[in-house]
Amino acid sequence: MVVAKRLGVRWQIGKRSLASSTPLWSIPSLLPRVRDSLAALLLLASTAPAQDQSTYYRTETYELPKGVNFEASGIAILPDGKLAVGLRKGEVWIAQNPSDTAKPDFKLFASGLHEILGLAWHDGALYATQRSEVTRLRDTDSDGKADEYLSASTGWGVSGAYHEYAYGPVFDKEGNLYTSLNSSMGKAWKGAGDEEKHPLWRGWVVRKTKEGKLEPFCAGFRSPCGIGQNAEGDIFITDQQGNWMPTTPLFHARKGAYFSHAESIPDAMRPESPVKIAAKQPDGITDAEAMKIVQGYTPPAVWLPYVKMGQSGTGIACDLSPGKFGPFEKQMFLGEFVLSGVNRVFLEKVGGEYQGTCFPFIDGLQCAALALNFLHDGSLVVGQSNRGWNSKGNRPFGLQRIVWTNKTPLEVQKMELLKDGFRFTYTLPIDKESWGTGKLNAQSYTYPFQSKYGGDEIDAKPLIIHAIQYSDDGRVMDVLISNLRPGYVHEFELPQLKSKDGTPLWHRMAYYTLNKLKAE
Amino acid sequence: MAAKRRKENAKMNSSKLWTLFAASAFFCGHLQAHPLQAEPVNHAFVFNFDRFNVPEDLDESLINGGLLLLAELNCTSCHAAPASWQQRLQPKPGPALESVGSRLDSDTLWLFIRSPQNRKKGTQMPGFFHGAEGDDEKVEALVEYLSNLKSSPAPMPAGDADRGKDLYHKVGCVACHEPGKDVRPPKVAADAEVEKPGNASVPIALADAYDFLSLANFLASPLHTRPAGRMPDMRLSAQEASDIAAYLHTGRVVEKAATRAALKISKQSFEKGRELFQTMNCIACHKLGSTMPAAVFSGAEKKEPSAPVQPAATKPLKELAQGQGCLAEKQASGTPRFDLNDLEKRAITLALKMIQQQEAPQLTAQEKVDWQMTRLNCYACHDRNDKGGAEDPRAQYFGVNDPGAESLGQLAHLPPTLDKAGRKLTRGWFEKVLWGKDGSVRPYMDIHMPSFGREQTEMLITWLNEADALEKPFQIDVSGLAKHHRAEAGRQLLGAKGLACVSCHGMKDRKSLGPPVIRLTHTVERLQPEYFKELLLNPQATQTGTVMPPMFIGRKKADQEIESIWTYLREIEGQPLPEGLMSSADFELKPDAEKRVIIFRSFIEGVGTHAIGVGFPGGLNAAFDAKTSRWAILWKGRFLDAMSNYQDRSMPPIKPLGTAVKSMPSASSERIFGGYTLGKDGIPTFRYLENGQQIEDTLRPVKGGFEHIINSNGKQTKEILSW
């Protein structure tokens, strides 16, 4: 049974990570769910205390309007700092005091839309993405309620199949509007007319140009649930495990790129497609091989290993505050649906392409994280709904925010590639003595490139570490490795380090996706 | 001098009075049919001793009965048990007497203290006065002391005896107490004779002597004055308690102790009574509160109590001689007299012998459960491993309040069997059931599950868990993380088109489609997941007598399906109900109080995937197709069901709920949709480009239909749409 096997892997890893105090696997949150399993015994046997994440980041739960299924699926911040939340049931609510979770004062702004899965503020208006349209919402008479629902982007195929979600929007510097479109899954509806047979641009990111033209932009997505931008304004997409997606990827979306999900190939054959690929692609090779032989294939900037880092990546938010959210300025935070948490990603450009590291971050949210955005006060708001899929946090919906307590955790702040290894930069100076007899476990593996659902870590090999060097101030640690492999995830489990002021390392796992080696 | 004379008088008359005394108890009942008129029990009554022991019993089986008597009659309060026996023979706290003076008048106290077995036949309270010199004064002193222990009972509503009579018989009082002879159980044919209980009933002969308020308060929270829980808290409302109190007071005439007046004993001091209470070791059973009620020190008696007087030393169980004390033919004054019958004496003698000869045997978890259930008399209502359960002549009074439940037979009428209970319920739910709140999941059942108090029942949970644990528990993954752990999948299985669990099980505020079997709302809090799986896989083998069909036998994916159902039940809050329990009314969009126009985008039949429904107040509806930029359908009456958008994962297309659906002609030209704006009245104006021209298109309800208004290039056209 595949599930049992996966869970088996999960618990094993869980046990290991638990010893590393990774809060994703903390005892209290998991134990009641694994009664009587061997895993529970293993967990019990471990004596390593889980660190309380609230020391560094506090989770606050919003008081929500009574009687409303507040399935928060889109979050936008207005120029005055107010918080706009789109709900799957098709409403937009605005919190007048978003920093006060007990009394946020939510007021209904718009209603009647068809499954909002994204909300953005741009140039004087709110934009809500619904199934068949991005709608520009404005309140022209200032009564607090939208009275203008104008079509800002539409024209992609909608067949009525249940999984044809539309996410976004994001805007680039030129003002083009981007929407990510789920590939079509499930049964199409006769009432959809011609689109019952072939809904256009499913599994694509499309953009509406400022001139009002809908253009296909890039392809090969399965369920591109998160669409967001980094500090430079580049567009990133999270996708979800399934066929052609062995685990959650973070893709850098640009014009003409193709990201592996074969169902979008037919539309790439259309003349207006900027994606130039072959009509067929190999099935059952490794991702590392695909990078070499599949025409036009763009690998993800980061893989988030399955179960270890979650099971379903969602919303993306970039910390643009000057240090209000802790020592992770300009890094990206990704929602995690099944494990109901938030992961952290550091990116760098190597050979002109983004690649980088993902780290565990926040665990134990009340429900599946779906949409993320930062308030002006620097806290991270997480919109939640688990309608349609299971999540560890078992509330069906809700809204929480994550607030930095102003205490700096000891974390790997960034992890960069060197020519012959990796450079770990810590948030606090490391006490080298705390390494003690601890071991640095490290391995690399790749994933299958296949039409089969999901995919195991394959071709795993231990990394051969021949030196570890510290900077004088203890902030930087270079790990020199003799067997780096492009096309592989390089996974590290650090020992239980401490900073010079005694702060223990909060998360010990780090996963660097190495697509390109460094020339220098 | 006067006092002395009275005392002599009394002494002269005393022997005669003692013989007369016995008769007085027979006058205390007033209506032939009333429960207080139960046939008297003439020995210290321990329900389960009488129930489970007969004179024909062999010694080895009677020993347990003897141990039960030693424990339940509180022998070990005075006679210390050997260490190994202590846990098993732990005495129970006697009634708290802090405010006994408010509950009973001094004559009743006098009658009861002087001869408990006369005033209250079958009582477990021993008598200490056997007519010796000075007994009358002692009784009087104790009465003086206890009468002054007062507090004001809380106010209670007025009671209704008829309602009380009904309640008394249906909430479960008759599981232990006597049914009224004038009450016919619901199922007994009009001409049939009502069967009488075979076992004797727990006497309630003091109920009518109680002050009404005190009785109502006692019934509302008996554990307050009787912490032992042998009279459990029936979880009555204040009104119900008052009603039953009124019923028990039917025809009440407060008995005067004529004998007491005749004795003319001089007034004894409070202080003497207090001392006697200690020296006679009343405090071994009746703990007084740490502080004396203020009323105690009123008037002449207002002085600090002197230092406590040590009670007379008593021998430990191990040193008691056979056939002495309460077991003797003739008892000396000052020794407790229980009026034990021959079987009880034989049982106690056997038990004593065992205790004196050997260490207490180690009990298995099941034996511990059985012991505590016997002591608390859980068996009066529940059976477990083929022991106990309400006997039919008592059970016949327990009914249902929902006619739909009749078809379930005794499953609906009678408290559930406790077989496997220790692996069935979670600790949290046991706590709710045994002493907490909101543990009842069978609202159709009249009988109440009482609270016995935490002290009396908490240990049962651990013992039950241990006794009922399976060597190899069923494996169920409740992590909620496996691929098939989907609430929606579970919802489908529960629904009418799945396994149709909703045929019998309701959920939340919804009744099932059939009989009102336990609602599944709290399943996850209530049941251990392993038991849940065990039950679902094979209901009959797991829960004998259940009417649950074996839905999962032969289903290949039973494991996954059961886990999906668990996932749904775990996330039930905020999830849509399973099909069958839900009505479209749950999500039907209706005009609100302000009668605003409702706009709703979805997949709408007759329109397409880009449909925008508009519901106008007054029952006119239309839907605009944003793909072709035209009004696609009009209809009358009810608007739309929003469930697809609000709750469904699969987002199925929805149908207009109303009638007279009219399809509109398709557009003749290419149009580009632009959106809509809302007027002050909430009416939307749709915008689109047609041949490069900006068009504004509005429907307004008018008499007879819609007015269709089109603005284009500064020109306006209007037409009336009626159908």
Task: Report the complex ipTM.
Answer: 0.90
pLDDT digits (tens, 9 = 90+) for B572-588: 887 889 988 877 667 89
Please tell me which residue of chain B has the smallest CA distance to A307: B481
Portion of chain B with pLDDT greater than 90, in percent: 64
Which residue, A342, A372, A404, sits at the end of a domain? A404
Residue A391 lies in a domain: yes
Q: How far apart are CA A399 and CA A379, in angstroms?
A: 13
In chain A, the N- to C-terminal Cα span, in Å, equals 46
Position B254 confidence tier, pLDDT thresholds 50, 70, 90? confident
Position B498 confidence tier, pLDDT thresholds 50, 70, 90? confident
Domain count, chain A: 2
pLDDT digits (tens, 9 = 90+) for B694-716: 999 999 999 989 999 999 999 99
Residue A506 lies in a domain: yes
Q: Looking at beta carbons, which residues of chain B come within 8 Å of A133?
A: 610, 626
Whether the predicted pLDDT of B9 surpasses 50: no
Chain B nearest-CA distance from A378, in A, is 30
Do you know the residue count of chain A? Answer: 520
Which residue, A378, A404, A430, sits at the end of a domain? A404
Chain A nearest-CA distance from B718, in A, is 23
pLDDT digits (tens, 9 = 90+) for B107-149: 999 999 999 998 899 999 999 998 888 899 999 999 999 999 9
Q: What pLDDT shows up at residue B595?
A: 84
Q: Write the residue in A132, A150, A391 that is nearest to B675 by C-beta.
A: A150
Q: What pLDDT shows up at residue B141?
A: 96
Kindly list the structural domains of chain B, giving each domain's residue range(s) and its CATH number in brackets, ordered by start: 2-151+255-357 (no CATH), 365-468 (no CATH), 487-570 (2.60.40.420), 587-721 (no CATH)
Same domain, A45 and A130: no
Closest C-alpha among A52, A44, A1, A58 to residue A22: A52
pLDDT digits (tens, 9 = 90+) for A277-292: 999 999 999 999 999 9
Residue A59 lies in a domain: no
pLDDT digits (tens, 9 = 90+) for B185-202: 887 877 788 889 988 999
Does A396 sit within 8 Å of B529, measured CB to CB? no
Domain that holds residue A416: 2-50+409-514
Same domain, A188 and A204: yes
Q: How far apart are CA A30 and CA A37, in angstroms?
A: 12
Q: What pLDDT shows up at residue B665?
A: 95
Whether the predicted pLDDT of A39 surpasses 60: no
Token digits of residue B332: 């000396």
Same domain, A132 and A196: yes
Q: What pLDDT shows up at residue A391?
A: 78
Same domain, A394 and A433: no
Token digits of residue B393: 């002549």
Q: What mean pLDDT do residues A150-172 have?
A: 96
Token digits of residue B605: 């039949």
DSSP state, residue A195: G
CATH classification of the domain holding A26:
2.60.40.1220
Q: How far apart are CA B124 and CA B75, in angstroms?
A: 11
Cis peptide before A169 (omega within 30 of 0): yes
Q: Write the residue in A4, A36, A140 that is nearest to B530 by C-beta.
A: A36
Whether the predicted pLDDT of B544 surpasses 90: no
Q: What pLDDT shows up at residue B31?
A: 54
Q: Looking at beta carbons, which residues of chain B come within 8 Å of A397?
A: 574
Q: What mean pLDDT do residues B151-167 have?
A: 94
Whether the predicted pLDDT of A17 surpasses 70: no
Q: What mean pLDDT do residues A190-201 have?
A: 93
Does B650 sit within 8 Å of A186, measured CB to CB? yes
Q: Write the residue in A131, A135, A186 that is nearest to B675 by C-beta.
A: A135
Q: What mean pLDDT do residues A391-415 have?
A: 93
Same domain, A355 and A455: no
Q: Looking at beta carbons, which residues of chain A come within 8 Å of B556?
A: none
Q: How far apart are CA B32 and CA B47, in angstroms?
A: 23
Residue A438 lies in a domain: yes
Position A508 confidence tier, pLDDT thresholds 50, 70, 90? very high
Position B293 confidence tier, pLDDT thresholds 50, 70, 90? very low
Does B687 sit within 8 Å of A133, measured CB to CB? no
Position B333 confidence tier, pLDDT thresholds 50, 70, 90? confident
Q: What pLDDT shows up at residue A67?
A: 86
Q: What pLDDT shows up at residue B311?
A: 64
| Local structure of B488: helix, strand or coil | helix
Q: What pLDDT shows up at residue B584?
A: 61
Does B600 sit within 8 Å of A390, measured CB to CB? no
Same domain, A392 and A415: no
Whether the predicted pLDDT of B8 surpasses 80: no
Residue B384 contacts by C-beta under 8 Å, 6 or more apart in sequence? B369, B370, B373, B378, B417, B418, B419, B421
Q: What mean pLDDT do residues B489-507 have?
A: 89
DSSP state, residue B681: T
Which residue, A404, A427, A451, sits at the end of a domain? A404
Residue A519 lies in a domain: no
Chain A nearest-CA distance from B306, in A, is 55
Same domain, A160 and A105: yes
Q: Mean pLDDT over all residues of chain B?
A: 88
Position B27 confidence tier, pLDDT thresholds 50, 70, 90? very low
Residue A61 lies in a domain: no
Same domain, A147 and A225: yes
pLDDT digits (tens, 9 = 90+) for A85-139: 999 999 999 999 999 999 999 999 999 999 999 999 999 999 999 999 999 999 9
Chains A, B: CB pairs < 8 Å: 153
Residue A55 lies in a domain: no
Q: How far apart are CA A181 and CA A473, in angstroms?
A: 47
Does B673 sit within 8 Å of A151, measured CB to CB? yes
Does A151 sit within 8 Å of B675, measured CB to CB? yes
Does A392 sit within 8 Å of B481, measured CB to CB? yes
Whether the predicted pLDDT of A15 surpasses 60: no
Closest C-alpha among B379, B437, B436, B447 to residue B413: B447
Q: What pLDDT shows up at residue B324?
A: 86
Q: Looking at beta carbons, which residues of chain A come within 8 Å of B480?
A: 33, 390-392, 394
Same domain, A227 and A204: yes
Return the bridge partners of A84, or none.
A76, A94
- If one compares B451 and B591, the residue with the highest pLDDT of the two is B451
Q: Mean pLDDT over all residues of chain A?
A: 89
Count of C-beta atoms within a 10 Å radius of residue B354: 18
Return the bridge partners of A518, or none.
none
Same domain, A193 and A101: yes
- If one compares B420 and A32, the residue with the highest pLDDT of the two is B420
Same domain, A99 and A119: yes
CATH classification of the domain holding A388:
2.120.10.30
Q: What pLDDT shows up at residue B251?
A: 82
Same domain, A338 and A297: yes
Return the bridge partners of B675, or none.
A150, B687
DSSP state, residue B378: G
Whether the predicted pLDDT of A231 surpasses 90: yes
Whether the predicted pLDDT of B25 surpasses 50: no
Closest C-alpha among B603, B92, B116, B608 to residue B377: B92
Whether the predicted pLDDT of B649 surpasses 50: yes
Q: What mean pLDDT do residues B480-502 have?
A: 88
Does B642 sit within 8 Å of A35, measured CB to CB? no
pLDDT digits (tens, 9 = 90+) for A244-278: 999 999 999 999 999 999 999 999 999 999 999 99
Closest C-alpha among A57, A49, A27 to residue A409: A57
Residue A387 lies in a domain: yes
Closest C-alpha among B141, B76, B92 to residue B348: B76
What burial letters (b/e) apply to A40-74, b meaning 16+ CB within 10 Å?
Answer: bebbeeeeeebbebeebbebbebebeeeebbbbbb
The angle that helices B135-147 and B106-114 make with each other, rounded to 10 degrees, is: 140
Q: Report the amino acid identity of residue B124.
A: Q
Residue-by-residue DSSP string for A81-103 = S-EEEEETTS-EEEES-TT-SSS
Q: Residue B597 burial (CB < 10 Å; 0-12/13-18/19+)?
A: middle
Q: What pLDDT shows up at residue A50?
A: 54
Q: What pLDDT shows up at residue B192?
A: 83
Cα Rg of chain B, angstroms: 36
Q: What pLDDT shows up at residue A438?
A: 85
Q: What mean pLDDT do residues B316-336 have?
A: 85
Q: Looking at beta carbons, which residues of chain A come within 8 Å of B673?
A: 151, 154
Whether the predicted pLDDT of B15 surpasses 80: no
